[in-house]
């Protein structure tokens, strides 16, 4: 096994561990919605562990920080489904590949121990049991993807421009992006030149139940992620970027969202028949289908609604997740941190105001700057280069994450705001997406149980002294039981107040911020004693 393959397997195993950990703490509906993903990724991991990969396959997989997710997306996109792993189906699926041009694609698959060779001398062993049949079908399929297609799915003849409002910032040829305006270019392209990968960062999560209903209502069920995004010219609510096909006379005013007919479908799955009928009978299907839901990312059911002249993000949540989002907002606001505004709509819904002000500024996820690496030290160093105001704001986010145990702070659910005209990075975006914090996954057995985030934050402080440096410029946030109880009351959601208070206070007292406060107090006592 090569070092490259070992690295891919290690990344894949870590990804499976994180997914398993997420599912174990999730509500039953969440588990059911992702059970298929979990099963298929297990089989994909088996392929990676048991089969020598070609140089072509490794060249595609090695740069991927989430190789299983990458392979899973390809799996969903193509003709194979998990149900086809039933007895007898594996042979038919593998035989389907034989219809492709001879580029190293296996010619057949059958029962028993048989060796299949391609031009690259890759050996596959096919076993008789169903699980192994599935593995060979999966691998044969991936072999086809990597060798026959070269790992890319974009039409090589595709031509377009990436626009910021009505300014062309890059040209697109197939999957390749060539900058025209470096100052206005999406930050993503500072790290990658893949047009398809950028489109995927803007695509609706296909795992959401209501996203499938939305695709059916719009008659887009056969479209893949990139096609869905391009159907609305890759426009979003939170930035001014969009894709202008070659030869098009469209302007930004034509693609900017001004309506959303499919909000109920996306949020609740309701009104599907009615809106589908309305869409079919509409004389202007293009305008109706131009919905921001196709570029509304994230794993929870949500939608955009235009209230007055402001866009609001509506999100569904169970009671404890709803409480967590509202509580963290109230606590962060009380501490003086920049927070995205949240309010309760009803017992299962919250909403948040668009913090870009109708694209008065562009929002770009932190992944565009630091990639998928959510290591505190790496991210802090990157933001420090932008200025202390950026790194200080980052410290406030991870401090709040630690005391409220938000384990879902990956690099795509926080980010920066950029000036639309100059491209200058102005600030970190306000803190948002905290619905998986606190007791959202149920009450732990003990409020004072050890928390990983506090340990990581303490290690980070020992290595960098970041919070000590922060204390030289800012008043440190003070959390008291009285403050926490006030924040709990403001949410309007009934919870075990004492447990939540003890939960947060324990983590606060273990934080580097509390240590700095105690250090300052001791220093003042020494000065008074003198």
Residue 206 and residue 282 share a domain:
yes
Residue 301 and residue 269 share a domain:
yes
CA distance 104 to 120: 7
Whether 348 maps to a domain, the answer reads no
Residue 201 and residue 132 share a domain:
no
Residue 135 and residue 100 share a domain:
yes
Whether 342 maps to a domain, the answer reads no
Residue 28 and residue 124 share a domain:
yes
Q: What is the mean pLDDT of residues 338-342?
A: 97
Residue 518 and residue 377 share a domain:
yes
| 56 contacts: CB under 8 Å, gap ≥ 6 | 120, 146, 147, 150, 151
Average predicted confidence (pLDDT) for the chain: 79
CA distance 325 to 311: 19
Residue 171 and residue 58 share a domain:
no
Residue 92 and residue 180 share a domain:
no
Q: Is the pLDDT of residue 199 over 90?
A: yes
Residue 287 and residue 222 share a domain:
yes
Q: What is the mean pLDDT of residues 461-484?
A: 95
Number of domains in the chain: 3
Residue 215: how many CB atoms within 10 A of its CB?
Answer: 19
CA distance 228 to 337: 36
Higher-pLDDT residue of 41 and 114 is: 41
CA distance 517 to 457: 16
Residue 249 and residue 165 share a domain:
yes
| Total count of residues recorded for the chain | 530
pLDDT at position 529 is 63
Whether 331 maps to a domain, the answer reads no
pLDDT in tens, 202-255: 988 877 888 888 888 888 877 778 888 999 999 999 999 999 999 999 999 999
CA separation, residue 346 to residues 209, 298, 350, 352 (Å) = 21, 21, 7, 13
Q: Is the pLDDT of residue 477 over 90?
A: yes
Least confident of 35-49, 92-106, 167-181: 92-106
Q: Please name which of 40, 363, 357 lies closest in space to residue 201, comparing C-alpha atoms.
A: 363
Q: Is the pLDDT of residue 192 over 50?
A: yes
Q: What is the mean pLDDT of residues 75-95?
A: 40
pLDDT in tens, 128-155: 344 444 444 455 445 444 433 334 456 6
**Which structural domain range is residue 36 located in?**
3-148
DSSP lists the bridge partners of residue 245 as 160
């Amino acid at each position: 096994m090569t070092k490259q393959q070992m690295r891919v397997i290690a990344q894949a195993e870590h990804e499976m561990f994180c997914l398993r950990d997420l599912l174990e703490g999730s509500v039953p509906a969440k588990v059911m919605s992702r059970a298929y993903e979990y099963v298929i990724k297990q089989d994909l991991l088996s392929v990676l562990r048991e089969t020598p990969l070609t140089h072509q396959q490794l060249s595609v997989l090695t740069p991927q920080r989430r190789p299983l997710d990458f392979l899973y997306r390809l799996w969903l996109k193509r003709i194979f489904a998990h149900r086809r792993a039933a007895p007898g189906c594996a042979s038919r699926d593998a035989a389907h590949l034989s219809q492709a041009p001879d580029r190293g694609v296996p010619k057949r698959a059958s029962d028993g121990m048989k060796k299949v060779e391609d031009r690259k001398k890759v050996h596959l062993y096919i076993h008789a049991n169903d699980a192994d049949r599935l593995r060979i079908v999966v691998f044969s399929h991936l072999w086809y993807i990597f060798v026959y297609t070269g790992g890319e799915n974009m039409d090589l003849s595709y031509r377009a421009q990436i626009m910021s409002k009505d300014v062309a910032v890059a040209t697109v040829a197939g999957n390749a992006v060539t900058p025209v305006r470096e100052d206005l270019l999406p930050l993503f392209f500072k790290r990658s030149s893949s047009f398809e990968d950028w489109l995927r960062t803007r695509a609706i999560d296909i795992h959401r139940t209501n996203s499938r209903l939305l695709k059916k209502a719009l008659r887009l069920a056969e479209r893949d992620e990139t096609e869905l995004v391009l159907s609305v010219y890759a426009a979003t609510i939170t930035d001014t970027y969009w894709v202008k096909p070659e030869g098009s006379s469209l302007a930004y005013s034509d693609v900017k969202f001004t309506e959303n007919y499919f909000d109920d479908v996306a949020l609740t799955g309701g009104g599907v028949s009615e809106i589908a009928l309305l869409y079919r009978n509409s004389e202007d299907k293009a305008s109706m289908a131009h919905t921001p839901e196709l570029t509304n990312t994230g794993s929870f059911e949500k939608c955009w609604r235009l209230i007055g002249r402001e866009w609001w993000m509506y999100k569904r949540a169970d009671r404890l997740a709803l409480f967590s989002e509202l509580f963290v907002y109230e606590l962060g606001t009380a501490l003086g941190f920049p927070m995205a505004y949240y309010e309760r709509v009803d017992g299962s819904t919250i909403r948040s105001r668009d913090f870009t002000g109708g694209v008065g500024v562009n929002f770009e996820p932190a992944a565009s700057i630091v990639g998928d690496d959510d290591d505190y030290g790496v991210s802090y160093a990157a933001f420090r280069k932008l200025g202390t105001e950026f790194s200080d704001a980052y410290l406030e986010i991870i401090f709040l994450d630690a005391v409220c145990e938000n384990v879902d702070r990956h690099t795509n659910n926080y980010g920066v705001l950029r000036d639309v005209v100059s491209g200058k990075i102005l600030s970190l975006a306000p803190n948002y997406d905290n619905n998986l914090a606190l007791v959202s996954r149920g009450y732990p057995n003990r409020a004072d149980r050890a928390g990983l985030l506090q340990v990581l934050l303490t290690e980070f402080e020992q290595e960098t002294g970041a919070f000590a440096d922060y204390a030289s410029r800012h008043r440190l946030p003070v959390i008291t039981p009285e403050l926490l109880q006030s924040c709990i009351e403001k949410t309007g959601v009934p919870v075990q107040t004492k447990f939540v208070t003890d939960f947060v206070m324990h983590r606060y007292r273990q934080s580097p911020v509390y240590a700095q406060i105690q250090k300052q107090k001791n220093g003042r006592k020494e000065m008074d004693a003198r």
